[in-house]
Amino acid sequence: MNNIYIAFAPLQGYTDAAYRRAHHECVGGVDEYYTPFVRIEKGEVRKKDLRDTDPVVNAGVPTVPQVIAKDADEFAKLCDALQGQGWRRIDLNMGCPFPMQVKAGRGSGLLQHPDRIEEIAREMLRRPEIIFSVKMRLGQESVDEGLTVMPIVNDMPLVHVTLHPRLGKQQYKGVVDMNAFGMFMEGCRHPMVLNGDIIDLLPLTSHISPLKGVMIGRGLLARPWMLSEKEPREVIQQMHDIVYRYAVENLCGDRQILSRLHAFWEYMDIDRKQKKAIMKSTTLPRYREAMAMCLR
Across the strands, what pairs with 195? 215
User: What is 211-237 written as a DSSP string?
Assistant: SSEEEESHHHHH-TTTT-SS-HHHHHH
Residue 48's pLDDT is what?
95
Q: What is the pLDDT of residues 215-242, one digit of tens each?
A: 999 999 999 999 999 999 999 999 999 9
Those residues whose C-beta lies under 8 Å from the C-beta of residue 90, and which sit 6 or more positions away, are 64, 65, 66, 67, 79, 82, 130, 131, 132, 133
**pLDDT value at position 206?**
52
Q: Taking 80 as the threshold, does the pLDDT of residue 2 lie above it?
A: no
pLDDT of residue 1: 47
Nearest to 199 by CA among 233, 226, 225: 226
Which pLDDT belongs to residue 274? 94
**pLDDT, mean of residues 76-98:** 98
On whether the CB atoms of residues 292 and 274 are closer than 8 A, the answer is no
Please give the pLDDT value at position 38: 98
Find out whether 27 and 19 touch, Cβ atoms under 8 Å: no
When pLDDT is averaged across residues 142-164 and rounded to a whole number, the result is: 97
Q: What is the mean pLDDT of residues 147-157?
A: 97
Q: Within the chain, where are the H helices?
A: 17-26, 47-52, 72-84, 99-103, 114-125, 143-154, 178-187, 218-222, 232-250, 253-266, 272-280, 284-295
Contact at 8 Å (CB) between 214 and 201? Answer: yes
91 by Cβ neighbours in 10 Å (0-12 / 13-18 / 19+) ranks as buried
What would the pLDDT profile of 41-74 be if each residue is shown by its tens digit? Answer: 999 999 999 999 999 999 999 999 999 999 999 9
Residue ranges of domains in the chain: 5-222, 232-295
Average pLDDT value over all residues in the chain: 94
**What band does 198 get if pLDDT is binned at 50, 70 and 90?**
confident
Residue 204 has pLDDT above 60, yes or no: no
The CATH number of the domain covering residues in 5-222: 3.20.20.70
